[in-house]
Amino acid sequence: MSERTIKNWCRLMPKVELHRHFEGSLRPEMIFRMAQRHGIGLPFRSVEDYQQKLAFRSFSDFVSMFIIGVRCLREPVDFYESTLDLGRQLYADGILYADITITPQFYLSRSYSLEDIFGALKKGADLVKEKLDVDIRWVVDLVRNKIEVSEVAFHELMKIDLKHYSIHALGLGGPEKGYSALPFANMFAEAKRQGLRSNPHAGEFDGAASVALCVESLKADRIGHGVRVWEDPAVIQELIDRGISIEVCLSSNFKLGVFNRESHPVKKLFDAGVKLSLNTDDPALFKTNLSYEYFLAMTYFGFDLDMLKKSTIVAAENIHDESCGLALMQKINNQFKVLGLDE
């Protein structure tokens, strides 16, 4: 297939996204809009200037840009409008359902409660569903190196009606190496009792042992990233035996130096039988979308259309809101049929 044909197939395929951060989906246009609303100074003056700052030399460079968007999310209207813009991005990329990760502890000092914020997110997501027929659900993320603030955020979250606000999982992000998941075990256990699924990041900046710890101590239902399980066949087999899927983010891994295109194990993991989905992580910061992640998988790692179809089905079978599962699979299968990919 020519590059143009591959890109066209990737654009047309139905998609499900499981690993995407709300804050990392803020396009520069939204950041400028919110900054102007609140009189916030920015370290860039144009979209072009913003784009030039996305050549990250370290994880801390990435975090610095990520936090700029966080600073601009000040009031419920910011969360509402950003959700609408997120919905437009998902729709344009052919994404039918997305589990979106948001980090509540960033917003504890706002003059609005977390319930006000999730009310705005729900209002936006409901309108996206009504107008674009795209389902958005939420994963609330704690931060590994901020245990005390994480505990405050977690206890505030436990006060609200999680199901009403479409919150379906608890995540764990932040610096992985040097910050064990173990101190968060009690919070994840309580979240499970409250009906949330477990979706920690692991196996990105630390090795396979980090993944194994999250499976054991946090009872992980899905693993964010997880690609470094390739370093330990025993952990690979554990994921396969337990049916736990990993959320692969190729552009993110390349641009943050986790793997390069020559060393990335995504195809080896797929061939080994690990359930995996393709995702964007922070598309505004990595200048990507899910169609492009599919293109990378085909162009650099030898995925064919059947492999992309299988990874899409893995994603659909592992969404956090299982009540959407039947209708979602029907939509996906109908679109595959239209594309002639139903066999």
Which residues are the active-site residues? 204
| C-alpha distance from residue 61 to each of 20, 247, 338 (Å) | 19, 23, 43
Amino acid at 315: A
Given a contact cutoff of 8 angstroms between Cβ atoms, the answer to whether 259 and 237 are in contact is no
Structure tokens belonging to residue 266: 């995504």
Given a contact cutoff of 8 angstroms between Cβ atoms, the answer to whether 169 and 320 are in contact is yes
**DSSP string covering 23-42:** GGG--HHHHHHHHHHHT---
Residue 302 gets the label, from left (phi > 0), alpha (psi -120 to 50) or beta, of left
Phi, psi of 128 (to 5 degrees): -60, -45
Q: Which residues does residue 138 pair with via DSSP β-bridges, in sequence order?
A: 100, 167
Amino acid at 83: T
Helices (H), 39-184: 47-52, 59-72, 76-92, 114-132, 147-157
* Sheet of 245-248, strand order: 15-21, 95-102, 135-143, 167-173, 197-202, 222-225, 245-248, 276-278
Packing angle, helices 305-317 and 290-301, rounded to 10: 130
Q: What is the DSSP letter of 281?
A: B
From the list 12, 34, 23, 6, the residue with the least C-alpha distance to 281 is 23
**3-class SS at 170?**
strand
Given a contact cutoff of 8 angstroms between Cβ atoms, the answer to whether 72 and 31 are in contact is yes
